[in-house]
Structure 1
């Protein structure tokens, strides 16, 4: 059983100050940080406004954000884990076996479920689904037929198209749309505001980028172009959720970990390092691992992050619409994300 540990006294104050600073300097219109432990009610830090389009509406636990690549853990990773529990395939199963009509000799025919989750598949790194316009072959077949850029399992390279492929495979294998499969699980976890886009515009939905000068911002539509080309439903991006639902997701995972439940065992398995990203950071199954592989986290390009510390029972989620100004998020959000990682790893 996990013994929950309190936060380091200054950690949350530092996070709040940093969120206020990046709001004040225009990096983000505003944002919410959810934090807590699996055996307590979540708490929230907020700053700024949702966006100028939303008037004076302030971000809240119920503000809806496009979480971009957090889709990989909120939907695809979660669905792989629950599917594995039902048997029928394993992490070492070639993904083509979850589909039909893909020959074993196809360039991507050897790529396994675990290799896609660990970003070691060797598939092409550029996503660019627009290159397939006017092609009549199924998308999975097109992806599998392309030459690999590395031997499967040889090393880490972040690849969105692997998760797109895995999303297609899960839907085919389970005989249901990916968004339907995910929605069923989210309901079971109490994530009642989590959905694939598009979602209706409102003051509680954070707009993202203005693609054309003078044009409207993306608002309720997936920011990721490739998810949009797939109708908003994809294995790598397209999910909209709230800080409150991210807290519910983290709470369920950490609670299951503490009680050795099925989702907790899946989290444990996923926190076994599969490939080195850089010194001090490993890739597990979908998650980035830090602090000697004791902390799992993932980022979303739009300005979101989720951190889990199973050993201490703590979690932390960041929700911002940092792409509102079309800025370099990795650079501008780096201080906030660094403080978040420090907060969740610090001993009290």
Structure 2
């Protein structure tokens, strides 16, 4: 069975044969520096537990949940980031935190100036663990799974042209677009059409989607488009002879026991459904209990791009099924090799838009410190996100009604990142030598400097050896610098790193993410005998993403006559500004 490339240079592979848990896996639970190959055991079933039970530090998770709770609050002129949210974090099959905050219903309308009009306080409905949210574009994952089920059944070939299944799709020069390009958003189709406004009924709206003209030449650009998934939903219906909502029910939600997930929730559960936006165009009023997306609404609430409602627990079950290689509680919704295909990047020509078959990959803007080339997920316009991290057997679900009462109140991306980052920081990075390593911290717009005292060079060039765990975006870098004039002037030393995911050749700075391993780093600093040299490790971040930062360990400096500094034996000889000793 072919392997799935799970890292930048094909060094971490997943195989279907690795689905069963290896005995050594237990030793790596919670250890960020030991990524785990393969899928989780297909027998893994989510259960309640504590962070400590799976070797997680509970403090970063608690801090993230406090921030999310704070973001749901607001009074007077201070708007909440979102009215309500439910957060769920699972690691190694254990739900370590699930918490509701804020309100599923708080507002009744929006004034012309954009401010919200609150309901009487006794009519506010608190968010609960079982609150049902409109998950908007997370629906695209359900449609993608349904399509891949049709692939497994032999009804769809990803490399065949869409027009071979849907002849009307050939209109406007689209006859050569393969099915795969719809799943990876390479079709060139525009992001959306105002179906609800410019076409009179469902047949006309579907026809408009299928006959739409590309915005760009197909295959030449990544354009995230709802039309891709609407067309895929129609394709799945056409080849199977069943409506999309039935395909989702029979193929996903029913076998996985996702009883709170589906299209068009029953009026009986409306009191559990989070409200979304107060809409004036079209004049829908407060949307509560029906799909927020206007195009999905105009298609009867069932569409390939939006329309699914779900709970945090149900989405966690779906995420665990993916981590398990397509199986949960003995019910298989996809084969392991199909899951591998879905989590394999197909957009190498568009490196900022890594994408598998339906799944987004390696998107730090909401995955933050969990991002890696094989970390999968999706977001939705109404506020939800799911992050699935096979390397650590983890998943994070955030459901929020950030469009309640207005879509114009802003983004909840900070909350998405905070929850993913909370889990990333909760996982250990164990020192490679001794009880502690130097940790840079993960503050944005920050410089962390770790330097030596003056070192007397006795003979020849100075060699510097150290271990580095680097999890940064490419604009956040680690540099090794030297000074021979007491720190007045500094110059960078070239470094060579060795280890899984390390950059090739000499580097002026180190950056990278997703490999989750320690690198052994070597640098040579030109000096003369009798000269005094100072060294410093400087980690600089910009104002946005931080990842897991940098750890340094086993720092050793020597010249031709022997050791000048060994941090394992003389930690007091390093001067830290922004770095701190860390045990994990």
TM-score by length of 1: 0.88
Against the structure 1 CA distance between its residues 343 and 285, is the aligned structure 2 distance closer, same or farther, given a 3 Å change threshold?
A: farther
Q: Is the 8 A contact 1:309 1:344 kept in 2?
A: no
Between the aligned partners of 2:385 and 2:249, the Cα distance in structure 1 is: 21
From 385, 406, 418, the equivalent of 1:326 is 406
Give the corresponding residue for 1:66: 134
Give the corresponding residue for 1:35: 89
Q: Is the 8 A contact 2:139 2:305 kept in 1?
A: yes
Give the corresponding residue for 1:301: 381
From 309, 321, 330, the equivalent of 1:252 is 321
The structure with the largest helix share of the pair is 1
1:1-348 maps to which residues of 2 (within 5 A)?
1=19, 3=25, 4-5=29-30, 6=54, 7-25=56-74, 26-37=80-91, 39-41=93-95, 43-52=97-106, 55=123, 57-73=125-141, 75-99=142-166, 101-102=167-168, 104=170, 106-130=172-196, 132-134=198-200, 139-185=205-251, 186-200=253-267, 202-212=270-280, 216-256=285-325, 262-275=334-347, 282-290=354-362, 291-328=371-408, 331-346=410-425, 347-348=427-428
Between the aligned partners of 1:304 and 1:227, the Cα distance in structure 2 is: 17
Q: Is the 8 A contact 2:202 2:299 kept in 1?
A: no
Against the structure 1 CA distance between its residues 205 and 146, is the aligned structure 2 distance closer, same or farther, given a 3 Å change threshold?
A: closer
> Higher relative contact order by CA 8 Å / sep ≥ 6: 1 or 2?
1
Shift of 1:50: 1.8
Q: Secondary structure at the match of 1:256?
A: coil
> Superposition RMSD on alpha carbons, in Å?
2.8
Against the structure 1 CA distance between its residues 268 and 103, is the aligned structure 2 distance closer, same or farther, given a 3 Å change threshold?
A: closer
Between the aligned partners of 1:286 and 1:136, the Cα distance in structure 2 is: 24
Q: What whole-Å deviation, never above 9, does each CA across 1:205-255 have from its counterpart, x for those lacking one?
A: 111101139974100111000000100000000111111111111121112
Q: Is the 8 A contact 1:254 1:264 kept in 2?
A: no
Shift of 1:168: 0.8
5+ residue gaps, structure 1: none
5+ residue gaps, structure 2: 1-18, 31-53, 75-79, 107-118, 363-370, 429-584
Q: Secondary structure at the match of 2:271?
A: coil
Shift of 1:41: 4.5
- Number of residue equivalences: 344
Between the aligned partners of 1:157 and 1:223, the Cα distance in structure 2 is: 22
> 166-175 or 105-114: which moved more?
105-114
Shift of 1:184: 1.1
Between the aligned partners of 1:98 and 1:92, the Cα distance in structure 2 is: 12
TM-score by length of 2: 0.54
Q: Is the 8 A contact 1:210 1:217 kept in 2?
A: yes
Between the aligned partners of 1:224 and 1:105, the Cα distance in structure 2 is: 26
Between the aligned partners of 2:66 and 2:352, the Cα distance in structure 1 is: 27
The structure with the largest strand share of the pair is 2
Q: Secondary structure at the match of 1:332?
A: coil
